[in-house]
Amino acid sequence: MLKKFYPDEYLDSVYEIDFDALYRSGYRGVMFDIDNTLVRHGAPADARAIEFFSRLKALGYQCMLLSNNKEPRVKMFHDAVHVAYIHKAGKPKAASYLKAMERMGTNVKNTIFVGDQIFTDIYGANLAGIRSILVKPIHPKEEIQIVLKRYLEKVVLFFYFRYRKNQKN
């Protein structure tokens, strides 16, 4: 039952993902959550994020920001990194992920989603049938509704790690 919430990978940071290897294995599109995935909640794109997207585009990736935030927040980030976006995406509904793939010209076999929240980012990517990568939140300061969900995420992660351990044995 909990498997629908499990990411395909769980890493410390978006900045440690081996996008070169993923590209060589056929991935061409990457969707990202913004807050606490790429930068602190509410923060503008920093130099690291700007360089990161420049590098992804140079590799040949189509990139999309997929956020439940309102347009001013998402557009502010977009204006710095210059990648497409969908605001008020309604994650975890699969429709926004499918719309993003259509706009990027990618499909479920060659698209990845990267985010920091299990019940929106990862669950939605899994519903859409795309590879999901969960990253640890960049900063502990978050809105109260997210803080509350983090407690439930700890339960899911407990079973996720146990499942992964059993897969290796």
Q: Are 19 and 61 in contact (CB under 8 A)?
A: yes
Q: How many domains does the chain have?
A: 1
User: What is the per-residue pLDDT for 122?
Assistant: 97
Please name which of 128, 95, 94, 96 lies closest in space to residue 111, comparing C-alpha atoms: 128
Determine the average pLDDT of the residues in 60-82: 97
- C-alpha 31: how far from its chain's center? 6
pLDDT digits (tens, 9 = 90+) for 95-148: 999 999 999 999 999 999 999 999 999 999 999 999 999 999 987 666 666 667
| Residue the block writes with tokens 């557009």 | 75
| Furthest CA-CA distance within the chain | 48
Q: Are 8 and 166 in contact (CB under 8 A)?
A: no
Domain that holds residue 126: 2-168
Task: Return the percentage of the chain with pLDDT > 90, whole number.
Answer: 78
Report the DSSP beta bridge partners of residue 30.
63, 112
Q: Say how many CA atoms lie within 13 Å of 168 toward its Cβ.
A: 6
DSSP state of 43: P
pLDDT digits (tens, 9 = 90+) for 132-142: 999 999 876 66
The CA-atom distances, in angstroms, between 42 and each of 36, 59, 84 are 9, 28, 18
User: What residue type is assigned to position 85 of the chain?
Assistant: Y
- Examine the pLDDT at 15 and tell me if it is beyond 70: yes
Q: What is the CATH number of the domain that holds 80?
A: 3.40.50.1000
pTM of the model: 0.91
- Examine the pLDDT at 74 and tell me if it is beyond 90: yes
Residues in the chain: 169
Q: Are 86 and 67 in contact (CB under 8 A)?
A: yes
